[in-house]
Amino acid sequence: MKRLLNYMMFIGIASLAISCAEPEAVTPNSSKVVGEWDVVDAYVSGQSDSPNLITKLVIERDGNFVYEDNNGVLTVGTWSTSETTLTLTGEGEGAQTIELQIELLTYSKGHFIHNLSSPLIGEVEIRYLMNKINDGSQYGTTNIFD
């Protein structure tokens, strides 16, 4: 009888501990954005065939990202998403934060807008059309940085 009481008490404490844990906030877009993305086309202020900033983007489930720009430079950092925005926050000295507005996001295609502003270039809009290469569940099957 004493043993049964101990088991019931253990189960009660374990249930209480599990029920008190806060669930991680998941946005509808967080599952769609994870994976390897290839920029199919980029339009800079309405012009096609302009040099694009991002050429390949890898979004990991653990909240990290890696992207390659048109010069072959890799940038790493963390990402977050909301209903309308994908935010890429770079790490290290001189790192920048890129906010991509989500125009369209499915499990295989993405259309993102990056608005830039500076006194030198003025207002610039970059539209990225991306295709998903891999959904992130098959690690090591492809190397996108060949």
pLDDT tens per residue across span 101-132:
999 998 899 999 999 887 877 888 989 999 99
CATH number, domain 30-134, options 3.30.420.40, 2.40.128.280, 2.60.40.1930, 1.10.287.3510 = 2.40.128.280
pTM strictly above 0.85 = no
| Contacts for 55 with CB less than 8 Å, ≥ 6 apart | 38, 39, 67, 68, 69, 70
Residue 9 pLDDT exceeds 80:
no
State the residue for tokens 């934060």: 97
Here the tokens at position 77 are 């950092």
Burial class of residue 68 (count of CB atoms within 10 Å of its CB; 0-12, 13-18, 19+): middle
Nearest to 108 by CA among 77, 81, 85, 136: 136
User: Can you give the residue ranges of every domain in the chain?
Assistant: 30-134
